Amino acid sequence: MAAKSQICSVWLGSETGILKGVSLTKKQAFNFCEMSCMSRDQEVCVMAWGDPHESEVLVGSVNGTVKTFSTDKGIFTATRECGDPSQGRFTGLAVTDSSMITCVESGLLKVWKEGSTETAEVNVGNGVCRMQQNQSQRHRVATGGKENPLKVWDLERPDKPIFTAKNVAHDWLEMRVPVWVRDIGFIPDSDKIVTCTGHHQVCVYDPSTPQRRPVLEAQFGEYPLTALSLPASQGTVVVGNSHGELAILDLRKGLVCGCLKGLAGAVRGLQCHPSLPLVASCGLDRFLRVHSLEDRSLQHKSSNADVSGDVEEVKAEEEEDEVWDTMETVTEKSKKRAAQKDEATVTGLDGEKKRKLIKKK
């Protein structure tokens, strides 16, 4: 498996706990998992690089475990219990020089120190949808969710957030706009932070200024935004929504620069290349797509069926066969007999029940 994992350039997680590696150059995809223990409680919620050299992939599952996968060896090398499923699924996963950071839906953020069972806990508020790390200042993270505004935390001083965003202004009916942060990104080489919301908003905040409301607010489409990613070239952001629409937005003017076509289902994940003008996306249609951000053309497309040993497809077919096997067989003769004998009881205006023959055409 080491030879296969070393040629993979994109990594994905599935709802049955499969870690999938895709080689864009050779147009091949591989499964890395133990087939015997696949289940829905192994669903992959979050993924992150385990080290700066990208030789390890951390995989957080619904059951609260975080597994370490070695891209050099092609195997899982460690498993750690990092959460209680009753607290909700993981909404963020990150690493620093000597610790790992996890966050769950209930708002419990934990810092797991390497080689120690002790953890530092921070309550970031209930209903968390996303926790994101600042890659230039790795001890800082941002959180947000449903009725949980954007907050920036310094984990070296976690007593209170160093920045708490204020909600956008009321709408044209002077009604409060609900808070629903879905994804977060730190804009490189600046203090600014960009978020996307379930109300199809893209907001840019600047914690370095006294203003706590967005310094820029834009909208895209009519459906909830589900994911965002920042390209290598600054000044734009790529967002995706629950109807499979992808767009590139200008963060200086708040305008749509263009749309990326080809998706057919809610966008579940977006990731821009750190140096090239490329963005990878995946969603409910079970396809991995790689688009060019320069001419917005589709560079690569691979389906779940391309991945060898796809157990999800087999299970779906088996369940479908069981449904058909349990259904009663209806013949043409039985249909005619049922049409001739089909009777119903009707009640007249006088309350007297009468039997009426219903003839089917």
Task: Calculate the CA 19 to chain-centre distance.
Answer: 15
* Confidence at residue 109, expressed as pLDDT on a 0 to 100 scale: 96
Q: Residue length, the chain?
A: 361
Q: Given a cut of 80, is residue 2 above it in pLDDT? A: yes
- The 10s digit of each residue's pLDDT in 84-112 is 888 999 999 999 988 999 999 999 999 99
Contact between residue 32 and residue 38 where contact means Cβ atoms under 8 Å apart:
no
Which residues in 198-273 belong to E strands, given as ranges? Answer: 201-205, 216-219, 225-229, 236-241, 246-250, 256-260, 267-272
- The 10s digit of each residue's pLDDT in 248-297 is 999 999 999 999 998 888 999 999 999 999 999 998 988 999 999 999 99
55 token code pair? 């030789």
* Confidence at residue 30, expressed as pLDDT on a 0 to 100 scale: 92
Q: Given a cut of 90, is residue 39 above it in pLDDT? A: no
Share the mean pLDDT of the chain: 85
pTM: 0.82
* Confidence at residue 1, expressed as pLDDT on a 0 to 100 scale: 75
> What are the respective helix, strand and coil percentages of the chain, to the nearest 5?
10, 45, 45
Contact between residue 62 and residue 45 where contact means Cβ atoms under 8 Å apart:
yes
